[in-house]
Structure 1
């Protein structure tokens, strides 16, 4: 690229224009270098016009002999602050700045603090004063080197008695020398000058004292008549910081010493007062009857019985230890100690109220001081302060009660004892503050709050003690240290641990003679387990699968109670649908038991005759209605069948059963957990009160972690906790003892509406039968058969007859069936048979509403194989609805292990064929067949007929019409 020189010349820069800037920059750089390398000095002088103290920072060079030489360059100290790294260095520069342009009048604390910071001299620079005698202009020749020292005040005043007056003089102890105050030179209102040494007097008031005595030639004479006022108004105040020697006072004689009580132990007291936002702590030593502020120079003066004054030496060693004990409780206090010798009116420690009233501080400090014999007074006189000044003293003692562990909790704040009621209230509100009887508020130790919460959660408050049920023995061992337990409590816990841990050494029990049945082995184990719990008065939960005979185990247990307890009235509470079942089971298996059934409109509503019966049977609904008198009777045992009915702790059922009284309680359920872990709480809190703690605690510790977060550790912990008190055997676990098929009957109690419809229809048919001779009935057999079929349909659900008339949807069977399906469908596969397709359609609607997957097969189903496969092969399909005729033969449904027969058939062989759809070759599970029967209806009569007329019911080819024709008029009347 070619460059045109001419163009280049035109663009040539004017370098000369930059020279002034460069020279100025060099000069600045040189100045900075000079400032950096020239030594700094500090100069003290008087203002030229106002005569107050001026302190300046300067650069100066020195001669070879070490004297400063001109020029002296005054610096702005604030220019160096940003270079300072340490706090002392920053204060040094800002302190000088304070006096560079100082126009304040008189002495003040801020200026004293600034001078202290300068005197520390962190850079070890030289100090000079401007000697005005050498010249009024500041230059090297007028500078005199000095040292500046902060003076630890050691001023003394002597008071001598001289006839009718008193002579007062002052002396300063300085550097091992004593100076007459008259001879002292005061400099710049802050310093005492001795030669070239400047001693800073921190407290401006002491300058006044020295100045006063200087002006009086260090000899102040006070007439005797004025002396007492002078002593009280002047000397006594100076005495706080200045030692005053009263030469006319003689030391106490031994007699005076004892007479005035000075031979007693000197008391140490801290008085608490406040000043605005600060709490003041004034340490006082009590000598006899006199209180002397420790942070003072005051001399002890007293009068004997004759009015003669004498003096007494203070215990300086003990006072020094007193101050040390206070100071070491907080760094603030240690920092304040130097002020005591410098500030005239400082006789106390101080701390901001917010920090002082922090419980973690003052409780610890007060306790430490009291341990040293120091009393603290005035704490509750502080504004708006009701806190107790004492740490809690806690004593726990656990003894063995009747059926519980009794815990005595003693919480004391000095002489104030906390009531258990107030303590529980604080813990319940999660507060560390507890109300005391004297109106103050105690502060509970943080480390005890969780302990107290656990104590209360596991127990019941009984007056001033906690009763933790024996069933919670493991919790007692966990919560309380061994040394808190008495001998009997320890022994009881060891017994429970040994016996219950693995059910070791459980005594066997013979099956009671009154039981008309043979118990299977696992049922005998259940009987033994119930008696084992009874030995310790523990309740429990028998949670065997449906069909494993929970009822017969309980009946055997009730019979075994005859030999143990004189009072043997037991309450059995069941769903309404099972009242008749229990009646039948007692009649069949334990006919010797004296049974009273409290159920229905005509039931007894008083408990006066209960002692005559061994079993009082009632329903949950009746219990709610009759709880007023049932709760006043104390039963031997209470058994709750289908106890999942009380799983909701907010329900009326749960609240009602908790009002009942008994020696012990057992709950029965095939589904202890239906929806979530919390289902356990309602049932076990009834059977084993206290085992699972409070509802909130159970949710927090177990229910939420297990159900929401799948916490395996919590699940294992809960299982271990409830294991001794819950006995559950599934069909799979006891399969070897079960028959391949187990058949049970559930009796369903019609509601009022359904019963009225049934009775109306039954009366109509009965009247027709009664009004016609037998030969006429044969001719109109279809009419009679239709009537009997209608009765059977009403037993299922009156809604089946909706085409005829709107009878509503009330159906006892539907309620029972849906409850069973909801409970069983989670872990089991279910077949549901009915002769009436219309009934299956009603069930179908209900399952759809509940989002329960199902298959559906009737005689009109075309894709029969596809429907069967959907049940057999689809794990999500748990329920199969089948009409009896469509599914009676030709199906292999081995997936199912539960079969529900909604309605009975004349011929039991037809029912057995339906059951056999599940019980086929290839079935690996035991099959449970459940018949639903409405009590006091034609269905019961059909069941009875199946037993008594087996020859009539055994022929598979006989039709409804044939069976009907085989029945006489009397048979028909008995049937309906």
Structure 2
């Protein structure tokens, strides 16, 4: 497993750049007699680096479409390819051009196609020139002999396609698809479903019970062929039981899923009354249950969610199901059971991604020993980084039916979808090599074939309806931008900070230089944003800690600077790890002052010749520094007694809230910010203005969050009217329909997170028109962030390599 994770991480690392076909070499697949995997004809194969192989440290194993090992690339070829793979210069893909010859039972010729970033072409070609392998490039007449899809698509017309094109196709497919509505059993579900929920229930049941061939499989002459890879088998492929339930946020997916669970319970109750128990597709092997004789089969549905969504699931169970109808267990924190048999007693087991991640390496963890009837990933975009521990944990779960549920299907680009394919175990897309070749690379290069494949795939296995398409009839939502002019003092402080930003650009003007000073640049951007919101967030001596003393920042001998840098980054919730382009799960700082997720950088260090992914400096685990724990007991008295007084934004917010209260004293409001300290700063001024407030942030556990939401959703006349909420903490899995006003204190990098937060208010159950107000400082970095978001939306799905990241940083600071 470790070797496959290493390879997957390597592929992910290279996928941050656009890679192009350098050429191909011919090498034999050997060791055929030792493995069960077969190749019956011209077939695309996966090549996986296996650095821990006991017999050959250069080993590259070969997998067929069904993820079964066929053999290894012969040693002589592997000795040339493996060092280039390990140094991140190339990625490789393979295709067997001809059916296996009966005359040669011990080897199969394979065309190994080599891909690299354009800047590495010269180094790669030089490496092959000094090796026994002949690299056939596009200038070689023999290049036309390649049977690879990659070659054909290299010659294809390059057309830019946006991510929206995929989902527009899916939405059109939904309009043309006849969705047969189903009613949930009244002895379990007490709430009447809306029409679009009944139709979704019918689709979910169809996906779980249909015997249709998986997408891209065809029956030909009593055999079955995968149209993409040419894999052929006489055994009918198992149907994919499950898929992606991607209705827009706020359309009631939770109630629909509870209805699906209720149908199973109703069937079991009927069986108890003497009917013959029937379950279509009972074995479910096509869904990748991966069970063994020691595993325990269960009728339960395992629901994996975020901590903030846990309370929502509990509340929805109480609201929509008859008391006691669904036996529910929370597998979370101190309530974990040590006995897998205990988990089989329940209809629903609720747990969190972090709980599963903590148990990933515990072989006897009860949740891993159960073969679940169904696993539901709520807010499934949580696993967009396939290499993170929580992603690996849910992918490893055993289940007969698998559902990825999210209203925000894609945040960073098409690569987010690969982790969902891995969880669904939909071969061959669940294998990184195949995903890269068939979808990711063609899409990143604007090729129509990759787009068409993804459209067909998503139309077959996903259901997505928007609020506009559904018949739910939600109240109107309006969004307006309120531009704010900074005060003279704020403008002076902002301009001084901007001068420091200009100094960074002058000193580290090249792309390479900006990469070296990445942490300083990010810190500078963060401070500019804080000044726009409230300069009390920004310490007066921050400038002395920003500029590095050399081209490669080294804070290993300066603990004070190290902690200062960490706290600067912890002030903002939206810092992203440069490896996975996601918020870091555990912040780690290297001796060269670059910041990563702990799982990401540790996997990078497992390779030979480990280096920092940003500055290429040699690294070891002794060069890593853990972030100090976040201070949960902040001195609110000190924060609220700032001599600087209210910031312009805080003053404007209170003015808008007061105007709203004058218009409608019953209207509740949610104020979102990514800065937890700002939420504390606002409490006293709002109290002085006569507002009763609640706060919801990342320092609270699930029980505390549930209590805050319950109080805010209450209808008491003297109850709290303003909720101060952390944007990321409140962007998923909670219901805030008691409010009809939303205030965004600053722009968020990722529009998806912002939209999720807004849809906590604008969703089923909302009775009033919703008004959203963005507060944006004029002539500031905030306006550039809005422009950058539009640029990122336009290129979604086309990679977020360091070249683009550096361009973005320069754009923000210029």
TM-score range, shorter chain: 0.3 to 0.5
TM-score using structure 2 length: 0.37
- Normalized against structure 1, the TM-score is what? 0.31
Q: Which has the larger radius of gyration?
A: 1
